[in-house]
Structure 1
Amino acid sequence: MESLANIFWLGVKELRSLRSDKVLVLFVIYAFTASIYTQARGTSSEVYNASIGFVDEDGSALSRKLFQAFYPPRFQKPVLIRSDEVDEAMDSGRLMFVVEIPPRYEQDLRAGRQAEVLVVVDATAMLQASIGASYIQNIISGQVAEFLSRSDPNFRYPSRLVVRKAFNPNGDTSWFNSIVAMINQVTLLTTVLTGAALIREREHGTIEHLLVMPLTAFEIAAAKIWSNALVILAAVWASLLIVIRGVLQVPIAGSPWLFLGGVILYLFFATALGVFLGTVARTMAQFALLIILILIVLQLLSGGSTPVESQPEALQRITYLLPSRHFVAFSQSIIYRGAGIGAVWPDFLVVTLVGAGFLAFSLQRFRRSIAVSR
């Protein structure tokens, strides 16, 4: 009972110390609010408000139909230009796409002859260029097929592809980016807060005050773990409800409480990583460099930025031992697919086992570093 009391009051001391560090508090608030919003909205892989021009050398009903098929929010209102204005419009960056409809386009299609539509793309914006070109191709193909099916009774679709998107019907990348951003912030902030708390004690000389008190290494480390984990847990809960579901309008298909339980399990690993790096680094500068080296690798291999299946096979085997991969997996399953405990318990189990094992190792290393300091 006395040990639990020591852990509690030491944790309260950590919370008071964190509250007095205004910069760190503002950083935590920013990381779980504005940072998530900007990553969700500012890194979209979709085409929005793209400028497009038309060179209509046919002047037919079909060409006018194609011209009217492009509208916001994917594209700006199309503008009609002459063929000799294409180079100037592309060179100046005024237009990202130009569609050139050749003469007798509708007549050739009605006669069963092959006709080509030229699409000029500004490929300096590579992502939007490739996706926008696909949008234009699909729109033109759909409009031409619809036009011919209404005007030619002998027209038949060779095949029809029906696509139904599950879990994200509109393909809104902000749904995906917001959750991945929050997951990355959980790993980053938990590790930073826990590790920085240890290094701050050493740099400020307060670790010596703790060493002369009747405290064990476990009590000192456990107090830092629960206090910093509590801060992250509260930030995750507020971010999930206010920023992700409230501001970004991302629907939460599964149980938020189940997701929060998974976050608690993952915090065992994240806090252990912070304790471990706090014992390895001697200064805050060394700690920052280690954070960059380790957390970037964890984020890249977690499957949040790129699918695990696209990684080399050897790396895929390694990622099975990374709690960050399973954290991403069960987070997406719960939030997007509405998965229950029956679907995510294997990921919960791996996160718990690896996190508990690494926490025991980190506490043992911290105990040794305390023993050396004594």
Structure 2
Amino acid sequence: MRRYSLFLMLLAIIAVSSCTNSSEKTIDPTIQRKNDSLERVKKAEEEAKAKPRTAADIKLEKELTYDQHSLEETYPYKDTTRQFQLEKIKEKLAFIENFQRAPHNYAVLQNYKNRNGESPVVEHFVRNAYKRVSDTLGTERYQSAPLYPAEDSDKPAIYGRDGSLVSLESSDTLKMVKVNGISFEGSWFVPKRYVKSIGDSLNITHVNFVDVTNQNILTVERTGEDEWKIRSMNPATSGLHRPPHQMETPVGIFMVQEQKSKMFYYGDGTTTIEGFAPWASRFTNGGYIHGIPVNNPKGKIVEYSWSLGTTPRSHMCVRNASSHAKFVYDTSKPFKSLVVVID
């Protein structure tokens, strides 16, 4: 009888073990990963829809890691007062938090110096003060990507500026992709050659805010969910609207795209190298955040200029103290950082 009981217990153990092994064998690792991924996407979508962040949700604290040439939150300028527009900056940071909470396949529009081909003329175009073709919103054809309202449209409706951030929605055809604007509004079709995919795991931790009204620059670093630290507060000089050579710095959200320790530049209207600007980070067209220009290709870096923080006088670029340009160069890596230009 005792042997019979032991035999039954052994059978039970074998049966349980068999069921367990059978259950384990039915789990396909590929299906499990797919289910986990879908669950993460669903959770992210639910969080994004639940409560969009606002400026009031953003915790922005001053904790400088670059403290040279620093300005206060408000400061005197001639017979008036200038400021860092912190509420507007918080609004932009809330926007950045919101688009990163939902799943995206990120991409950047690119056409620096028309490297990807000159864009077709938009259906309704104008010639601007520089005698260049632009759309009715003021974006030039030169260095921009064409945005079509439909895949089979004959002509683009508007232009997308180089450096603009978008979300890729499809790539079903050989020539065109559908994008949703992040730097601009709307859904558009764009020829593939103007679109650089940068993946689905964008994590923006460094943003440079350029204020063309107050002529200053403020950099921030993300240190937690909805939490950002101010890392520098400095004077800057933006681009001047003066045809035919100088252009204003465009307002908008742009991706840092490339960096040069020395950005050599031509004299106006020539192809002769006149000098260089140190520690240059390009964000749109020929617009860079850079240090003090040196009008000698073999000259030495200059740290500061009396003109910083005064009035626009650059060629679309944003001039900084050279050590601050180096700070931006070191912290804002291409395709991982943003430049936000506000007015």
TM-score range for the pair, normalised by the shorter chain length: under 0.3
User: As a proportion of its length, which structure holds more strand?
Assistant: 2
**TM-score for both structures, normalised by structure 2:** 0.21
Higher alpha-carbon Rg: 1
Q: Flag the structure with higher helix content.
A: 1
Q: TM-score, normalised by structure 1?
A: 0.20
